[in-house]
Amino acid sequence: MDHTLSHWDGHSDLWVFGYGSLIWRPEFDHVESRLGRIHGYHRALCLWSRVNRGTPEAPGLVFGLDMGGSCQGRAYRIAAGQVPPIMDALWWREMPTGAYIPRWLSCQTPQGPLQALVFTMNRADDGYVPGLSVDQIVPIVRQGHGRYGPCTEYVLQTARALEAAGIHDRKLRAIARAVAAGHPSTEHPR
């Protein structure tokens, strides 16, 4: 974390880019949020979850930002004075393992470009699982249940939050519909 924050000037507000659960559960105070897009990475269910949304015997999947394409999400502005305590909590949430690589990336917003801290997929991590099709993802998501609840809830919450924010992710929409079909207790995302 110290190395990552060495790229922050220590007195300006800091932007963090969210692309998955940070959109529907940021869990930190922010003074502003904007829709934004980063280039060079795309949102993917490409990380095994063996604790939070699954178990070692029946893992679920969680989102990572994998190489290629672009990703629309939400950028959050953290007040400069709040950066140290918020980053401590955010680091604990996003970086308990080596699954992500924090990077400072350009984020395009309707109000103009900004530099944001983005947690990208570490392709060398043993939890990285690239290139899964919708047909492969759906049964994994349906089986996963971990410390934070069912993987289905995580995927459906993310799909709903993206739709509510006006973010269109066709692959996630297809996954959410397939996951919800056959689960009468879940609402179909629109």
Distances (CA, A) of 147 to 25, 53, 109, 152: 16, 6, 34, 13
Look up the pTM and report it.
0.89
What does the block give as tokens for 190?
A: 């629109």
Q: In whole angstroms, give the CA distance from residue 120 to residue 139.
A: 25
Do the Cβ atoms of 101 and 14 come closer than 8 Å?
no
Q: How far apart are the first and last CA of the chain?
A: 38
Do the Cβ atoms of 17 and 75 come closer than 8 Å?
yes
Q: Using CA atoms in the order 75, 169, 71, 45, what is the torsion angle rounded to 10 degrees?
A: 100
Topology given in CATH for the domain delimited by 2-180: Hypothetical upf0131 protein ytfp (3.10.490)
Q: What is the pLDDT along the chain (190 residues), one digit of tens a residue?
A: 777 777 878 789 999 999 999 999 998 999 999 999 999 999 999 999 999 999 999 999 999 999 999 999 999 999 999 999 999 999 888 888 889 999 999 999 999 999 999 999 999 999 999 999 999 999 999 999 999 999 999 999 999 999 999 999 999 999 999 999 865 444 444 4
Q: What is residue 46's predicted lDDT score, i.e. its pLDDT? A: 98
For the chain, the structural domain boundaries read 2-180
| Burial class, 139, CB count within 10 angstroms (exposed 0-12 / middle 13-18 / buried 19+) | exposed
Q: Token match 């519909």: residue?
A: 177
Handedness of CA 38, 88, 98, 21 (dihedral sign): negative
